[in-house]
């Protein structure tokens, strides 16, 4: 005999999808509670505590990681 309880009927696709979505949401909430996010002093984006910011590379007022300069957007042709 199986140790797990067996399902009696096959679940429909939307029903199983819904159940999976609820499960994913629960897991995400649990993970978010565990991770301690703080705001970056310089740019204000969320970062992990005790780690340099991923977007600007600053930690405690000093630049730790050298970040690449953002590429300039391709300019559209100007009509003359």
Give the footprint of Zn ion on this chain (CB under 5 A). Answer: 40, 42-43, 53, 55-56
Question: Based on CB atoms, which residue is closest to Zn ion, 19 or 39?
Answer: 39
E strands within 1-80?
37-39, 46-48, 58-59, 62-63
Question: Based on CB atoms, which residue is closest to Zn ion, 38 or 43?
Answer: 43
Question: Based on CB atoms, which residue is closest to Zn ion, 22 or 48?
Answer: 48
Least distance from Zn ion to the Cβ atom of residue 53, Å: 3
């Amino acid at each position: 005999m199986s140790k797990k309880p067996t399902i009696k009927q096959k679940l429909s696709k939307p029903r199983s999808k819904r159940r999976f979505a609820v499960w994913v949401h629960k897991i995400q909430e649990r993970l978010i509670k565990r991770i301690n996010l703080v705001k970056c002093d310089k740019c204000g984006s969320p970062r992990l505590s005790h780690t340099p910011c991923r977007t600007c590379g600053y930690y405690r007022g000093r630049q730790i990681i050298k970040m690449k300069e953002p590429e300039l957007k391709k300019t559209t042709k100007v009509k003359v």
